A and B are shown apart, each in its own frame.
Chain A
Amino acid sequence: MDMNAYLSMFIDESNDHLQALNENLLKLESDPNDISIVQVIFRSAHTLKGMSATMGFEDLASLTHEMENVLDLVRNSKLSMDSFIFDTMFKGLDALEAMVQDVVGGGTGKADVSAINAALQSIVKGDYKNKPAAETAASTGGSAAAAAGNAGNALLDIFQFSVLKQSIEAGNQVYYIKVTLRESCVLKAARAYMVFDVLENNGEVIKSEPSVQELEQEKFDRSFVVFMISGTQVEALKSQIEGVSEIELAEVVLLDDESLQLYAPTTDSRNQAAAPQQANASAAPSNREAAKRETGEAKAQASAGAVAVNRTIRVDIDRLDSLMNLFSELLIDRVRLEQLSSEIKRSDLIETVEHMARVSTDLQDLVLKLRMVPVESVFNRFPRMVRDIAKQLDKKIDLIVSGADTELDRTVIEEIGDPLVHLLRNSLDHGVEMPADRMAAGKPETGTVHLRAYHSGNHVFIEVEDDGNGIDGAKVSRIAVKNGVLTEEEAKRLTEEQMQMLIFAAGFSTADKISDISGRGVGLDVVKSKITSLGGHVTIRSKQGQGTVFSIQLPLTLSIISAMLIKMGEEKYAIPLSSIVETGIIQRDQIATIHGNQMIEFRGNVIPVVSLARVLDVPGYREEEETENEIVVIRKGDKLAALIVDSFIGQSEIVLKSLGKYLPSIKSISGATILGDGQVALIIDPNAFIK
């Protein structure tokens, strides 16, 4: 079988699973007792193992297999997670990721995983640390009586137990049902299936022993046990089950809180038995446990809901682009149809065209939305990164991500990752202080870094906020002067804010010592230029001693922009609205010639005047022939310039198109767009007119 056909699918899905593993391990690290997360992790690991084995990536499969072994123990409450296990698991994940990357790069996905495998195996054997083993032994001994009493009856795991317990508390009926088949029964699996059919009509089956799969394969003797939640009365349930043929006996017992304890998981009873032994904290821990179990269940339900909602398929990006192209073609035809129908003046035609116009407007929204991607795809790798860096720096840092569902154009998403990494690293390294310093400053030991995204108008904001030391403007400007970024004279005139912005200057670093993570003086200037190239900008709000907010403002999409359409003779051009300050009319005699350059006075400033007709060699229009000229005042940074144009057409949303690879790049033109009449209009690049 040719595996190449499946390779891209394998890579996509492996990346998804690795991401899920990463996320869930982090979640588990913050809440190690939540077995439902372990279940999710186990499933991901299991699928990954199966896929890699099928594709012949043996090292990938063997490593996931070892990780799975550890997870299996955790899942069955035979092992509790500790920091050593977490670190080993994360190391394993890194190795898996590296192998998958190797596969992506056309490699064989081979890597030496023996060290990690050995570590994982030692965890499974339990000899990686002798202390916890001893502890377990002690507590087992202490609760020997309880354990013995429960032996054989511990049918439920913690999760199932808590579900049942909660439904009892909520006033639902929970049944223990033991069904025994007749000895002469031939089709045991079929009978079991029929019993399940009856049960599922009456409520929800929480657990069956042996498992449903084993029952289906007839891997049971004559009887099986089921725990279920049902609204039906005992007798009714019993008679319904016994209504199935070849059933010898159905034992139906209504459970209450106490009787449920009999089937509770062993570890749980061990915990409860051990609790009284702890002299100073008797009631509190068990309460906390219960609370945790409840939140665990809530999370499990939430995730079950999410799975149902997120039904997606993968689509080739090229197809989306051609869909977009075809759609803009359709829009142009629509405009023509509207024109024709208004000429023909037949009411049924007008109605049809109007309906088509409405549908195509909806379709336009939809097509544009298809290109939008939640920033989650960028944000989701940060929790892990922050964890690793915080460990490396010996700092305690919580990363709080919000607004991950905020959507941005695909092209922006692809570019924004690296700048955000830089900003986060900067906040972790220079922003948040060492725990001791934080305590001394009267702050909580653990620093908090917020990463948030939100919509505002036609823009999306992404903010990185830390509650660290803030930026010392004076110190920044001193270093800037020392590094030759600006002169002392210039530095004196700066406001606090301007001083802080100096950290974005090229060749600048305030960290007293250079670290691995940041501080080489490259980074922040790269961040700024990257964001500027995306059409956004970055600002800083910082208070000394209280923290810093880096705020990135980005355009919603790069493919559709608002623009002012203008006319030059017979030709039409578009100027991006984001660069326009205002439009106006000036008298020819207001233009003064200073040093060979044409200038006008505009709101108290003298700004250069650019003749667009001359720059673009426009035939058939000379502004000199008019006594009044229309101007568009444009801006680049804080510099202004006035462009003389023939006349204004109006404001419009335009779809950006490239001019293709064949044409040489033309300085004053940034691209093209297609107007409503099907003609191409060129987009003027205002930045080319201001130096």
Chain B
Amino acid sequence: MAEEMKVIVFALGQEEYGIEVDKVRTIERIQPITRVPKAPAFIKGVINLRGVVIPVIDLRGRFGLEETVTTDNSRIIIVAANELEVGFIVDSANDVIDIDTESIDTPPEVVGGIKAKYLHGIAKIGEKRLLVMLNLSEVLNRKEILQLEQLEV
């Protein structure tokens, strides 16, 4: 059964990724981030989003990719899932598209260095464009942070 769904498209390096639009609260420009000491390296710190303090994750760091300096195109995508609100730093976010749920295939084991468990699938758009769909609840899984913490101790 084919269903349309809207996704926000953002880029990390050369790859394009998608998050379902109803999980995204807002997309913000890069703003000053307050560093939080003793937190895992991929947690860049916290920002003030209209009076609410929200932690910000560098998605590159989260996926074990090389971290880069933010540019004018960089954005913070604020997502809400599992009762958590978190910001993702991405290289750019500039599109909202409709995709067919049927066009999403299960992901291969490794995509661009990102472990498959963070991925929900891969959507084909048109002829050549591929969109990696994120598995938000796995990306936001706190167990890994807690494990990291224990390693440090």
B126: CB under 8 A from chain A?
no
Known: A661-B83, A674-B48, A679-B48. A666 touches B38 (CB 8 A): yes
Question: Would you call B54 an interface residue if the criterion is a C-beta within 8 Å of the partner chain's C-beta atoms?
Answer: yes
Query: Is A669 a contact of B35 with CB atoms below 8 Å?
Result: no
Q: Are B51 and A662 in contact (CB under 8 A)?
A: no
Q: Mark B35-70, 1 if CB is under 8 A from A, else 0.
A: 111111001011110111111000000000000000
Q: Which residues in window 303-360 of A have CB below 8 A to B?
A: 324-329, 332
Chain A residue with Cβ nearest B37: A616
Q: Does A657 have its Cβ within 8 Å of any Cβ on chain B?
A: yes
A141: CB under 8 A from chain B? no
Q: By the criterion CB–CB under 8 Å, are B52 and A669 in contact?
A: no
Asked if A681 and B34 make an inter-chain contact with CB atoms under 8 angstroms apart, the answer reads yes
- Determine the distance from Cα of A42 to Cα of B45 in the docked complex, in whole angstroms: 60
Contacts of B128 in A (CB 8 A): none
Instruction: Determine if B108 is an interface residue (Cβ-Cβ < 8 Å).
Output: no
Q: Would you call A663 and B39 a contact (CB within 8 A)?
A: yes
Chain A residues within an 8 Å CB radius of B146? 664
* With A329-B50, A659-B55, A662-B140 as contacts: A679 and B32 at CB distance below 8 Å: yes
Contact between B84 and A325, CB atoms less than 8 A apart = no
Determine if A660 and B55 form an interchain contact, defined as CB atoms under 8 angstroms apart.
yes
Closest 3 CB pairs of A and B: A325-B51, A680-B34, A616-B37
With a CB–CB cut-off of 8 A, which chain A residues contact B43? 663
Determine the chain B residues whose CB is within 8 A of the CB of A324 once the complex forms: 51
Q: A329-B50, A678-B48, A680-B48 are in contact. Are A662 and B55 (CB under 8 A)?
A: yes
B86 within 8 A of A: yes
CB-defined A-B contacts under 8 Å, sample of 18: A325-B51, A327-B51, A328-B51, A571-B34, A616-B37, A659-B53, A660-B46, A660-B54, A660-B86, A664-B145, A672-B34, A672-B46, A678-B48, A679-B48, A680-B34, A680-B46, A680-B48, A680-B53
Q: In the complex, how many angstroms separate the beta carbon of B149 from the nearest chain A beta carbon?
A: 5
Inter-chain CA distance A175–B48, complex, in Å, is 71
Q: Which of A326, A329, A668 contacts B37 (CB 8 A)?
A: A668
The answer to whether A674 and B38 touch (CB under 8 A), given A660-B84, A680-B47, A680-B48, is no
Question: How near does chain B come to A20, taking the closest CB pair, in angstroms?
Answer: 38
In the bound assembly, the distance between CA atoms of A380 and B45 in angstroms comes to 45
Are A674 and B83 in contact (CB-based, < 8 A)?
no
Q: What CA separation (Å) do A682 and B32 show in the bound complex?
A: 14
Contacts of A663 in B (CB 8 A): 36, 39, 43, 46, 55
Residue of B nearest to A568 (CB): B37
Extra pairs beyond A616-B38, A662-B86 (16, CB < 8 Å): A325-B52, A326-B50, A327-B51, A615-B37, A658-B53, A663-B46, A664-B146, A666-B37, A666-B39, A667-B38, A672-B53, A680-B34, A680-B47, A680-B53, A682-B34, A682-B46
User: Which residues of A sit under 8 angstroms from B140, Cβ to Cβ?
Assistant: 662
CB-CB under 8 A from B54, the residues of chain A are 660
Let me know if A661 and B53 touch, CB within 8 A: no
Residue A135 is within 8 A (CB to CB) of chain B in the complex: no
Contact call A664/B39, Cβ cutoff below 8 A: yes
* Residue in chain A with minimal CB distance to B84: A662
Q: 1/0 per residue B2-18: CB within 8 Å of A?
A: 00000000000000000
B65-96 interface (Cβ within 8 A of A): 83-86
Q: In this assembly, does A617 line the interface, its C-beta being within 8 Å of a C-beta of chain B?
A: yes
Chain A residues within 8 Å of B86, by CB: 660, 662
| Closest residue of B by beta carbon distance from A673 | B53
Bound Cα distance A662, B45 (Å): 11
Chain B nearest CB from A490 CB (Å) reads 35
Are B84 and A571 neighbours in the complex by a CB distance under 8 Å? Answer: no
Set of chain B residues within 8 Å of A682, measured between Cβ atoms: 34, 36-37, 46
Residues of A393-437 at the interface with B, using a CB-CB cut-off of 8 Å, are none
Is residue B142 contacting chain A, with contact meaning CB distance below 8 A?
Answer: yes
Decide if B37 touches A659 in the complex (CB within 8 Å). Answer: no
Q: Which residues of chain B come closer than 8 Å to A327, judged between CB atoms?
A: 51
Q: Which residues of A contact B55 (CB under 8 A)?
A: 659-660, 662-663
Contact with B along A289-303 (1 / 0, CB 8 A): 000000000000000
> Measured between C-beta atoms, what is the minimum distance from B59 to chain A in Å?
14
Closest to A674 in B: B48
A658 to B52, CA, bound (A): 9
Please tell me if the beta carbons of A657 and B38 are within 8 angstroms of each other in the complex: no
- State A668–B38 Cα separation when bound (angstroms): 9
With the chains together, A615 CA to B38 CA distance in Å? 9
Smallest Cβ-Cβ distance to A671: which chain B residue: B53
CA distance A327 to B50 in the complex (A): 9
Q: Known: A666-B36, A680-B48. Contact between A657 and B53, CB under 8 A? A: yes
Which of B35, B51, B54 has the largest number of chain A CB atoms within 10 A? Answer: B51
Chain A residues with CB below 8 A from B47, complex form: 680
Q: How far is the CB of B86 from chain A (nearest CB, A)?
A: 5
Question: Which of A327, A660, A666 lies at the interface centre, i.e. has the most chain B CB atoms within 10 A of its CB?
Answer: A660
- Is the pair A329, B38 in contact by a Cβ cutoff of 8 Å? no
Closest chain A residue, CB of each to CB of B40? A664
Q: CA A659 – CA B45 in complex, angstroms?
A: 10
Interface string of A561-575 (1 = CB under 8 A from B): 000000000010000
Q: Name the interface residues of A594-620: CB closer than 8 Å to any CB of B.
A: 615-618
Q: Which A-chain residue is minimally distant from B145 (CB atoms)?
A: A664
Q: Which of A641-677 contact B (CB under 8 A)?
A: 657-664, 666-669, 672, 674
How many angstroms from the CA of A507 to the CA of B53 in the assembled complex?
A: 41
Chain A residues with Cβ under 8 A from B51's Cβ? 324-329, 674
Using known A-B contacts A329-B50, A657-B52, determine if residue A662 contacts B37 with beta carbons closer than 8 Å. no
Name A617's contact: one of B38, B45, B46, B85 (CB within 8 Å).
Answer: B38
- A669 x B37 contact (CB < 8 A): yes
A:92-106 near B, CB below 8 Å: none
Residue of A nearest to B35 (CB): A571
- Which of B40, B52, B85 is most buried by chain A, counting CB atoms within 10 A of its CB? B52
Nearest A-chain residue to B85, judged by Cβ: A660
Given A669-B36, A672-B34, are A659 and B52 also a contact pair (CB < 8 Å)?
Answer: no
Q: Per a CB cutoff under 8 Å, which of B38, B46, B83 touches A659?
A: B46
Binary per-residue interface labels of chain B (101-142) against chain A in the complex, 1 for a CB within 8 Å, 0 otherwise = 000000000000000000000000000000000000000101
Q: Which residue among A659, A669, A680 has the maximum number of chain B CB atoms within 10 Å of its CB?
A: A680
> How distant is the Cα of A672 from the Cα of B48 in the complex, in angstroms?
10
Beta-carbon contact of B37 and A617 below 8 Å: yes
Q: Measured between C-beta atoms, what is the minimum distance from B117 to chain A in Å?
A: 18
C-alpha spacing A39/B54, complex, angstroms? 55
A666 CA to B47 CA, complexed, in Å: 17
Other-chain contact of B50, A325, A617, A672 (Cβ < 8 Å): A325
**Which residues of A from 486 to 514 have beta carbons under 8 Å from B?**
none
* Residues on B with beta carbons closer than 8 Å to the beta carbon of A680: 34, 45-48, 53
Assembly CA distance A672 to B146 (angstroms): 21
Q: 8 Å CB contacts to B: which residues of A456-486? A: none
Closest to A666 in B: B38
CB distance from A609 to the nearest CB of B (A): 19
Chain A residue nearest to B83 in the complex (CB): A661
Alpha-carbon distance between A681 and B34 when the two chains are bound, in angstroms: 7
Q: Which of A571, A667, A682 has the most CB of B within 10 A?
A: A682
Give the complex CA separation of A615 and B37 in angstroms.
8
